């Protein structure tokens, strides 16, 4: 049996915890692995918790009792979440994003693994404790955000398709109407994606009037699933919104195609009544 | 200035390194952050390196000189890679995957964030050192694998679309012919996805004859990009292959629709001449 030094034990425990967010690890499992007393393990866990907490990247949650243990919860604190979202706003304001019709090019942001991972950390913080069973998104650009969020919550991902493919097996399909352009479309999800009654967290990259998100909510109804939250990276300010209760990091208030200017503000996650609105102590 | 204890420093250094694969961090940056001598930092890094290496999950690479420092390289060693791929083979053999036409349902595997992340770690190991600038995949099911691989390599992702969308801006499109079913299709990639001459790593979930992968290679040619590697989660054994030099974790040798049996073997990554074929010392 390998003899672990305390310094190596701290490194290895940190690695194991970071690698398995939201997964409960028993103190006995750690004690066995490192051939150490539970009291020593507890001391180490206290150091790890304190270090994570001070950097605002996560914390350890201890569950007592026979089935107890410790789990790592990735966290974005208010300071880090605000800083990241301000950076996102600044990037969104780059006029090179403007496409014909006032659409915005976002693929570079969604291709940036580090940015995507930090956005996922914010959603994991906001929706932690709501008991989600699965993260759901619609192809294509929402997928990286869904995986980033799911990895921080230790959950699986289910992807809604715009066209049903043979490789999905039997699917449930609903028809949709885009809220902004009144275009018709459809959304499909494989029947075996998750069991009936699952609690789902919806994540997407961009929302205008909310036709697609409303379609996803309707589709979840067909699975008798409960939508426990909706996280949107950036939303467009519109007069008529189809969906309420979405949470956004950034709000695009104006796209001036002629003068090539985009105006972006922090999303409703940071405004009054939002999760990071400044009224919470931390 | 905060005073760091050695134990907290080890935890925080581990977290920082794991969080930024392949990114060079200078010893001075660490020394400044922790208000510690570079010799102490070096000692800590040696402990972290040794702990990661023994668990077969990664290693630290030291770069000497004025612009030097240390970077974390995630690694799957042969033992871990073989174990994971055997699990994958066993999961692929589940006859419930069989769909009409002999297609296989894979979305559950690709929705499993932990599995996907470990597959990404294997590709990061195999293709590390080939100087990739970007990971490229085709929507939809390849996307999680591409992000997992990119996150371990510290690279961005570019997603090839099967239909060009207005939100991609100007795109390059090529027409494709599926090698197995002779179906026509098209592949598009946004012009601004990456600069001309980039070195790309292609990742996908499943390959039959290789029509889609050949299409991606052709598309990369339009960008004057160099394909430095092609990683496929599972390939189907076929008589006529359109693409050579792909690397696979699993090979589906037979799908017997009538008797509901799927036969799967370890992919060419593990067979003679493969990366993990047993001739390498570690």
| Same domain assignment for residues B69 and B186 | no
| Same domain assignment for residues A61 and A96 | no
Residue window 172-231, chain B: list those with CB within 8 Å of chain A: 190, 192-193
Residue B5: how many other CB atoms lie within 10 Å: 12
B194-230, pLDDT tens digit by residue? 999 999 999 999 999 999 999 999 999 999 999 999 9
Residue A213 confidence (pLDDT) above 60: yes
Which residue range forms the structural domain that includes residue B94? 78-266
Residue A193 confidence (pLDDT) above 70: yes
Contact indicator for B45, B59 with CB cutoff of 8 Å: no
Query: What is the three-state SS of B38-62?
Result: HHHHHHHHHHHHHHHHHHCCEEEEE
Band of pLDDT at residue A242, cut at 50, 70 and 90: confident
A20-A26-A29 Cα angle (round to 5) = 95
- A17: contact with B, CB 8 A cutoff: no
* Residues on chain B touching A5 (C-beta within 8 angstroms): 47
Structural domain contains residue A160: yes
Which 3 state secondary structure label does DSSP give B256?
A: strand
CA torsion B80→B84→B86→B92, rounded to 10°? -170
Average pLDDT, chain A: 94
Residues B147, A108: C-beta atoms closer than 8 Å: no
CA B27 to chain centre: 28
pLDDT at A34: 96
Structural domain contains residue A274: no
- B11: contact with A, CB 8 A cutoff: yes
- In B, minimum Cα distance to A107 occurs at B168
Band of pLDDT at residue A160, cut at 50, 70 and 90: very high
| Same domain assignment for residues B48 and B102 | no
Structural domain contains residue A219: yes
Q: What is the ipTM of this complex?
A: 0.94
| Overall domain count for chain B | 2
Boundary residue ending a domain (B74, B89, B112): B74
- In A, minimum Cα distance to B6 occurs at A7
Structural domain contains residue B278: no
- B10: contact with A, CB 8 A cutoff: yes
CA atoms within 13 A on the CB side of B198: 23
Q: What percent of chain A is predicted at pLDDT more than 90?
A: 85
| Same domain assignment for residues B96 and B70 | no
Structural domain contains residue B137: yes
Residue window 63-92, chain B: list those with CB within 8 Å of chain A: none
Structural domain contains residue B275: no
* Residues on chain B touching A233 (C-beta within 8 angstroms): none
| Same domain assignment for residues A56 and A138 | no
Residue B41: how many other CB atoms lie within 10 Å: 20
| Same domain assignment for residues B69 and B166 | no
Structural domain contains residue A16: yes
Structure tokens at B172: 């390059």
Structural domain contains residue A90: yes
| Same domain assignment for residues A57 and A90 | no
| Same domain assignment for residues A162 and A39 | no
| Same domain assignment for residues B31 and B151 | no
Residues B167, A48: C-beta atoms closer than 8 Å: no
Band of pLDDT at residue A282, cut at 50, 70 and 90: low
Structure tokens at A234: 């950036």
DSSP secondary structure of B91-118: HHT-GGGB-GGG-B--HHHHT-HHHHHH
| Same domain assignment for residues A238 and A261 | yes
pLDDT at A66: 81
| Same domain assignment for residues B34 and B120 | no
Beta strands in chain B (DSSP E): 58-63, 69-74, 134-138, 157-160, 171-177, 184-190, 199-207, 226-236, 246-256, 261-266
- B8: contact with A, CB 8 A cutoff: yes
**DSSP tag of B10:** H
Separation CA B35–CA B134 (nearest Å): 36
Distance from CA of B156 to the nearest CA of A (A): 5
Distance from CA of A272 to the nearest CA of B (A): 31
Q: Which residues contact B112 (CB under 8 A, 6 or more apart)?
A: A156
Q: What CATH number does residue A142 fall under?
A: 3.40.50.2020
Boundary residue ending a domain (A74, A99, A119): A74
Mean pLDDT, range B101-129, rounded to an integer? 96
Boundary residue ending a domain (B74, B92, B110): B74
Contact indicator for B205, B141 with CB cutoff of 8 Å: yes
| Same domain assignment for residues B60 and B148 | no
Separation CA A136–CA A79 (nearest Å): 27
Contact indicator for A109, A87 with CB cutoff of 8 Å: no
Band of pLDDT at residue A281, cut at 50, 70 and 90: low
């Amino acid at each position: 049996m390998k003899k672990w030094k305390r310094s190596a034990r701290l490194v290895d425990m940190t690695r194991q915890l970071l690698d398995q967010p939201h997964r409960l690890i028993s103190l006995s499992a750690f004690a066995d692995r490192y051939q150490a007393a539970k009291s020593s393990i507890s001391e180490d866990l206290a150091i790890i918790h304190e270090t994570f907490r001070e950097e605002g990247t996560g914390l350890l949650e201890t569950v007592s009792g026979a089935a107890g243990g410790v789990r790592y919860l990735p966290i974005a604190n208010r300071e880090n979440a605000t800083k990241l979202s301000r950076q996102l706003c600044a990037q969104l304001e780059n006029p090179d994003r403007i496409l014909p019709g006032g659409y915005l090019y976002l693929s570079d942001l969604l291709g940036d693994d580090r940015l995507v991972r930090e956005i996922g950390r914010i959603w994991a913080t906001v929706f932690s404790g709501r008991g989600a069973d699965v993260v759901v998104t619609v192809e294509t650009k929402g997928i990286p955000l869904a995986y980033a969020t799911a990895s921080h919550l230790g959950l699986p991902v289910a992807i809604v398709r715009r066209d049903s493919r043979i490789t999905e097996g039997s699917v449930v399909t609903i028809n949709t109407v885009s809220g902004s352009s009144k275009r018709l479309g459809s959304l499909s999800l494989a029947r075996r994606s998750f069991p009936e009654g699952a609690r789902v967290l919806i994540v997407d990259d961009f929302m205008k009037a909310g036709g697609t998100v409303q379609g996803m909510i309707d589709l979840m109804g067909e699975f008798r699933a409960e939508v426990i939250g909706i996280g949107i990276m950036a939303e467009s300010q519109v007069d008529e919104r189809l969906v309420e209760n979405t949470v956004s990091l950034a709000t695009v208030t104006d796209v001036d195609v002629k003068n090539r200017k985009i105006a972006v503000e922090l999303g409703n996650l940071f405004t009054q009544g939002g999760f990071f609105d400044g009224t919470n102590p931390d």
